Chains A and B, each alone.
Chain A
Amino acid sequence: MGPILIVLENGAAGVTEATKECVNKAKSLAAQLGTTTVAVGFGKQHVSDLRRLAVTKVVIASGGTMDLYNPDAYEKVLAEIFGNVKPYLTLIANTTMGLDLGAGLAGRTQTPLIAYGIDIEEQDGRLTAISQVFAGKLLARVPIPEDGAIVTVIPGSWPADNEAGDPEIEEWTAQDSEAMRVLRVVEPEQSDIDITKADILVSVGRGIEGPDNLPLAEDLAEALGGVVSCSRPVVDAGWLPKARQVGKSGQTVKPKLYLACGISGAPEHLQGMRDADLIIAINTDESASIMDIAHFGTTADMLELMPALAERLKGG
């Protein structure tokens, strides 16, 4: 059986959490299957991190344009290393890089791909990938074929591995891409809040009662690392700008957490947020429509609960 290959992604402060999560899973699977783990890192900027990864071997691809992510250059060098390592299983976090490299590598190397993995189970030496499909409405259980597969993994699926190790290091010289060039990288503008891009939304409805209570929501959103959105009546009342409105006539959002505070859940609102990964509804009416699509609900008073929750989150 070939090793388990992890494709490492560079973040601002070292290898990203999502790839460390893959390292963690790769290690436990390798132990169960009796095989080794190989990680591929790109560029030299986090090389000291790479040298301390708790894997069997790290292949460091450098030279050319490796210090800056280039979809084409990375895919080509990854395909070369893949051919050399001959892994049984390859794990790539499902980020932009994972979307580039996962399917590209699968097609190039004729290796089956399983997308949107959230777990991999081992039983009697056989692996089954669990994949989240149809907007989270179904899970696919996919037996990993005997000749192996590539799995792209949704970030947050496993705990990150922060153990220090002393891996074997292999240097790999990469070529420049002839096809693609990175012209520039642009930092996001901070001025506008785009609620469609937020992972966490604290969304307020009529239950907020008035603009004076909005700081409670802002405070909670900050504690959660999210932003405040709202239902139509709040925009109509002029308490929040139109850009914050979720629903049929506002934005359609698919955050990881949608905390609906004092929103009863008009069909027009549900249309804009029903695909959120996790919906928690705070509403005094247990029979409000929002409760039919929320995963969790409480009838607690939102004006009491929001500050209490914010305080707990800040207090640690």
Chain B
Amino acid sequence: MRLAVLLKTVPDLVEELALDEDARTLLFDEMSYVPSEWDDQALEEALIIKEESGAEVTVIAVDTGDVDTMLFTALAKGADYAVKIVGDFDAAMSNWQKARVVADYLGRGDFDAVLSGVQAIDDVDGQLPGLVAGFLGWPHASVITEVRVAGGSHLQLRQEYAGGLVAELETVTPIVVGVQAARKPPRYASVAKVRQVAKSATIDEVEADVAEARLAGVEYVRPVAAGHAEMIEGDIDEVVDRIVAILEERNLLRRA
């Protein structure tokens, strides 16, 4: 079984998002980036599959900035190969564009399953695994919390729905899976190991042309209210009134 894991970096929310409030644009060059947390889950699930059934794991990232550390970390954790898709890309590259170049690469390979984070904080124009599956015409399932090899070329998936309802799916390959959570918390790769891998391992570079983005004129604004809490004054009854009104406004009261 050959597994591909799609990894990407996203702006680090520990820092303030760099927003040009007048132009309503994100200043992509001024932000720092971290691996998307759901992708970490996808990688962990792939590594668990590898340990269970000897699958081969290839991690793939589009070169939108510094993705090498993320790929070396994945190798240190146990991935077998790392691929970086390079081209005229930058941090502003949309998911649609990433999905396009990744789908082209995957379409040329012979991967049995593609795992990626079910979502990311920046996917305004769609989630990577769904788009990739759509471009390839492969079956796809999201919000997956378990992937198991079930004999030959079949996989068993555990898909979660609202309210804790769970379905078990059986699927043929190739398949694209959007991972919500791995069966275990993502493993830790020690710094020494990552540094050693960075010295000894290689990242395969594959060239690709940038695809056209499908959404234009996207503006970013901050939602109203931020900073110190808005204080609710008054006696107990007034405070209760106000809290109930806030919850009502946000649709958080139980529907009768």
The docked-state distance in angstroms from the alpha carbon of A135 to that of B167 is 27
Q: Using A113-B125, A305-B240, A308-B237 as known contacts, say yes or no to A145 and B215 having CB atoms under 8 A apart.
A: yes
The docked-state distance in angstroms from the alpha carbon of A68 to that of B126 is 25
B139 and A139 form a contact (CB under 8 A) = no
Nearest to A72 among chain B residues (CB) is B139
Nearest to B123 among chain A residues (CB) is A115
> Within 8 Å of chain A (Cβ to Cβ): is B159?
yes
Nearest CB of chain B from residue A88's CB, rounded to whole Å = 15
> Within 8 Å of chain A (Cβ to Cβ): is B199?
no
What residues on A are CB-neighbors of B19 within 8 Å?
138
> Within 8 Å of chain A (Cβ to Cβ): is B108?
no
> Within 8 Å of chain B (Cβ to Cβ): is A243?
no
Most buried by A among B26, B130, B141: B130
A286 and B130 form a contact (CB under 8 A) = no
B13 and A134 form a contact (CB under 8 A) = yes
Q: Using A280-B246, A305-B240 as known contacts, say yes or no to A107 and B254 having CB atoms under 8 A apart.
A: no
Most buried by A among B119, B140, B228: B140
Q: Could you say which interface size class chain A belongs to? A: 35 or more
Q: Using A115-B127, A188-B166 as known contacts, say yes or no to A17 and B255 having CB atoms under 8 A apart.
A: yes
A309 and B230 form a contact (CB under 8 A) = no
A186 and B168 form a contact (CB under 8 A) = yes
> Within 8 Å of chain A (Cβ to Cβ): is B23?
no
Q: Using A99-B130, A103-B129, A131-B124 as known contacts, say yes or no to A108 and B137 having CB atoms under 8 A apart.
A: yes
Q: Using A141-B219, A225-B254 as known contacts, say yes or no to A133 and B124 having CB atoms under 8 A apart.
A: yes
Partner of B220, one of A99, A100, A139, A178: A139
Partner of B252, one of A180, A186, A257: A257
> Within 8 Å of chain B (Cβ to Cβ): is A136?
yes
B127 and A96 form a contact (CB under 8 A) = no
B126 and A103 form a contact (CB under 8 A) = yes
Q: For chain A residues 287-316, which have a beta carbon within 8 Å of chain B? A: 290-301, 304-305, 308-309, 312-313, 316
B239 and A137 form a contact (CB under 8 A) = no
Partner of A179, one of B139, B164, B231, B243: B139
What residues on A are CB-neighbors of B223 within 8 Å?
132, 136-139
The docked-state distance in angstroms from the alpha carbon of A277 to that of B251 is 12
A183 and B168 form a contact (CB under 8 A) = yes
Nearest CB of chain B from residue A300's CB, rounded to whole Å = 5
What residues on B are CB-neighbors of A72 within 8 Å?
139-141, 171
The docked-state distance in angstroms from the alpha carbon of A170 to that of B118 is 33
What residues on B are CB-neighbors of A296 within 8 Å?
229-232, 242-243, 246
Nearest to B232 among chain A residues (CB) is A298
Q: Using A107-B131, A156-B251 as known contacts, say yes or no to A184 and B168 having CB atoms under 8 A apart.
A: yes
The docked-state distance in angstroms from the alpha carbon of A309 to that of B125 is 40
Count of A-B contacts judged by CB separation below 8 Å: 262
The docked-state distance in angstroms from the alpha carbon of A97 to that of B244 is 31
> Within 8 Å of chain B (Cβ to Cβ): is A142?
yes
A104 and B133 form a contact (CB under 8 A) = yes
Nearest to B164 among chain A residues (CB) is A188
Partner of B166, one of A186, A257, A281: A186
Most buried by B among A97, A140, A257: A140
A114 and B141 form a contact (CB under 8 A) = no
> Within 8 Å of chain A (Cβ to Cβ): is B71?
no
Nearest to A137 among chain B residues (CB) is B17
Contact bitstring A116-158, B, C-beta under 8 A = 1, else 0: 1000000000000001111111111111010001000000100
A112 and B125 form a contact (CB under 8 A) = yes
What residues on B are CB-neighbors of A102 within 8 Å?
126-127, 130
B246 and A134 form a contact (CB under 8 A) = no
A143 and B239 form a contact (CB under 8 A) = no
Q: Using A115-B123, A180-B171 as known contacts, say yes or no to A316 and B256 having CB atoms under 8 A apart.
A: yes
> Within 8 Å of chain A (Cβ to Cβ): is B209?
no
Nearest CB of chain A from residue B16's CB, rounded to whole Å = 9
Nearest to B167 among chain A residues (CB) is A185
What residues on A are CB-neighbors of B118 within 8 Å?
99
Nearest CB of chain B from residue A2's CB, rounded to whole Å = 17
What residues on B are CB-neighbors of A184 within 8 Å?
167-168
B228 and A292 form a contact (CB under 8 A) = yes
The docked-state distance in angstroms from the alpha carbon of A299 to that of B232 is 8
12 new A-B contacts, CB < 8 A, other than A114-B126, A134-B11, A308-B240, are A96-B143, A96-B160, A103-B128, A103-B129, A106-B130, A133-B123, A141-B219, A186-B168, A187-B165, A298-B233, A305-B236, A316-B256
Subset of 8 A-B contacts with CB under 8 Å: A131-B124, A134-B13, A140-B218, A143-B215, A143-B216, A145-B214, A296-B246, A301-B236
